[in-house]
Structure 1
Amino acid sequence: MINLVLNPTKVVTKQHEGTKILTLSNGFHLFSRTVGQGPINLLCLHGGPGSNHVEFENFAEELSNYGVRVSMYDQLGSFFSDQPDFSLPENQKYLDLEYYLSELEEVRQQLGLENFYLLGHSWGGLLAQEYALRHPEHLKGLVVMSMIDSITEYTPYINHLRETTLTDDQVTYMKQVEADERFDDPYYQTLVDELNRNFVMRHPENGPHHLVNTTATAVYNTFQGNNEFVMVGKLNGWDRRGDLKNVKTPTLLTFGDHDTMPLDTAMRMNRELPNSRLVLTPDGGHCHSVDNPKAFFHNLGTFLTDVETGNF
């Protein structure tokens, strides 16, 4: 990190470019990366929980015409950051929403971000909403990507999706496997894959590929469950309905038109947020920046430009 002294009383910090390992106050290390050039700072929060920054690797290139510097990081437990043994009692405290919010604020401070845009995808969108409610003084704009404000409205919707996509026998089979906790059942996984192709990532050929599974399973299972269509983890019951009216930050709500998130809820959020815009990505699922990047980045770039020019 380079300090540029402009006068004896004011120090301006230049944001680190490229990959940087952040050392947290708790002693753990997080992978971070900042790329791109321009006056707009965008910090991206990955989904999961337990996914990683890879979904944002192309953001700087796709937003290069808009003058955006993109920062991203892997949360604790995720693939490129420290992965503590969460089975140990002393590490259980980190599997908590409050921890990941405090981690986000510490990352912001270490990256020197002020008056910045915060983008959160899925679980990251949940964190982004919570952060906007607690620390609006740091934000210039908020992007909530494929995340609603209440798990209470998510659970019945994903049940509806599988009931209208699969046969009655297939749904019954899935429910029995879930009751027995036999999640490694091959046929069950085949049905999950079919649902994922319809509603999570419709065009996986556009997405990143690894030779191994990079999901932080312990984190994901703790907060979510076994898959996107089973909500039995710590996030079950999370609800910010009625609170978002307090978010005055310019906000983009972006969803895929085939999202796992209920679009009726997205429209309600748009009505309740006093300074928001709702956009849908055609032929997009929950990972709509991958499914249809052209439409997604056009919408995101337009939002950033409109806020910057006072036309939002």
Structure 2
Amino acid sequence: MTVTADDGVRLWASASGQGEPLVLCHGGPGLWDMFEDVAEMLGELTTVVRWDQRGCGRSERCAGPWTTDRFVADLDAVRQHFGLERMALLGHSWGAQLALAYALAHPERVSTLVYVAGTGIGPVDEWRPAYEENLVARLGEDPERLARWRELPEGDRERAVLQWSAEFEDRARALDHAGRMADPWFGINTECNVALNAENRRRPGLYAACRALDLPVLIVDGARDIRPRSAVDSLERALPRADRVILPDAGHLPWVEDPKGFREAVATALR
């Protein structure tokens, strides 16, 4: 179905399952919803609402603007479209940052926040170098794979699959998991990615805002994520009502590598 934002941009959205609503915010920036597995595993617990962020995936291609405030407004358009007074939010990676930004802007419209595999509220330079080192190390387990990744252009499907394969702890199945992420392939919005990542480096006042957020928050991490999980420590300290679940054998997409542990954690938060 189509959700129309307040500036007329059309956003792809979908709802399935039953129960109180849970709205999902996908990662990126510049990617699309890859939460089909999550919707299936949670469909007996909640009505799962999925959507593609503006200019991405199945949503209308547009010229932005590529700002967190604009994406927060788009998320609110999704909420209004489905007639939700309050909603639980689950965000993954960049989507975790977006879900947190929405909760800070509109806490009265959020019942629970599930923050999955995000990168916290500290400076990007505290975790980015380690992530890049870990990415190259994972890809370098196969020197030909690393060389191929380096020669392909940004935004290329094969390059994305190779890079995403580093996100999984199960190295034997990593390429298969990454290939599923890219099927179907909608193309990466690199302009959106660059703009929002640049904005994400400038977030003054975020710690104080999180200290004042009176909402239950569940932080879910895969312990084997190549982004240092210590990046999230400052967010956990700031939030007054935070719980944290670390799944020991999972990487950046914990529902793929530990579906049972992930479902149990989210079900507990929704209850």
TM-score range, shorter chain: 0.7 to 0.9
2:167 equivalent to 1:199: yes
User: Counterpart of 1:82 in structure 2: which amino acid?
Assistant: E
Deviations 1:227-250 (A, max 9, x none): xxxxxx332334523431111100
CA drift of 1:52 comes to 1.3
Contact 1:152–1:238 under 8 Å retained in 2: no
- By relative contact order (CA 8 Å, sep 6+), the higher-ranking structure is 2
CA drift of 1:264 comes to 1.9
Equivalence for 2:202 = 237
Looking at structure 2, the residues matched to 115 and 212 of structure 1 have their Cα atoms a distance apart, in angstroms, of 32
Match for residue 153 of structure 2 among 145, 167, 184: 184
CA drift of 1:23 comes to 1.9
CA drift of 1:210 comes to 1.8
Q: 1:122 to 1:162 in 2, by over 3 A?
A: closer
TM-score (norm 1): 0.71
Identity between Structure 1 and Structure 2 (%): 27
Deviations 1:88-135 (A, max 9, x none): xxx5xx122221111112221122112210111111111111111111
User: Counterpart of 1:34 in structure 2: which amino acid?
Assistant: A
Which deviates further from its counterpart, 255-264 or 238-247?
238-247
Match for residue 48 of structure 1 among 28, 35, 51: 28
Q: How many residues align?
A: 254
User: Counterpart of 1:125 in structure 2: which amino acid?
Assistant: A
Match for residue 87 of structure 2 among 106, 113, 116: 116
Secondary structure of the 1:284 match is coil
Equivalence for 1:71 = 49
Equivalence for 2:4 = 23
Query: Where do 1:141-290 residues align within 5 Å?
Result: 141-147=112-118, 148-150=120-122, 151-162=124-135, 184=153, 196-199=164-167, 202=170, 203-206=174-177, 207-210=180-183, 212=185, 214-224=187-197, 233-238=198-203, 240-290=206-256
Secondary structure of the 1:30 match is strand
- RMSD in angstroms over aligned alpha carbons? 2.9
Unaligned runs of 5+ in 2: none
CA drift of 1:283 comes to 2.3
CA drift of 1:200 comes to 5.5
Equivalence for 1:80 = 58
Equivalence for 1:227 = none
Equivalence for 1:59 = 38
CA drift of 1:184 comes to 2.6
Equivalence for 2:76 = 105
Secondary structure of the 1:95 match is coil
CA drift of 1:268 comes to 3.6
Contact 1:201–1:290 under 8 Å retained in 2: no
Q: 1:211 to 1:304 in 2, by over 3 A?
A: closer
Looking at structure 2, the residues matched to 42 and 21 of structure 1 have their Cα atoms a distance apart, in angstroms, of 18
CA drift of 1:164 comes to 6.1
Secondary structure of the 2:244 match is strand
Contact 1:45–1:121 under 8 Å retained in 2: yes
Unaligned runs of 5+ in 1: 1-19, 225-232, 306-312
Which deviates further from its counterpart, 198-207 or 113-122?
198-207
Contact 1:43–1:116 under 8 Å retained in 2: yes
CA drift of 1:70 comes to 0.4
Secondary structure of the 1:285 match is coil
User: Counterpart of 1:161 in structure 2: which amino acid?
Assistant: N
Looking at structure 2, the residues matched to 29 and 166 of structure 1 have their Cα atoms a distance apart, in angstroms, of 37
TM-score (norm 2): 0.81
Contact 1:32–1:72 under 8 Å retained in 2: yes
Secondary structure of the 1:234 match is helix
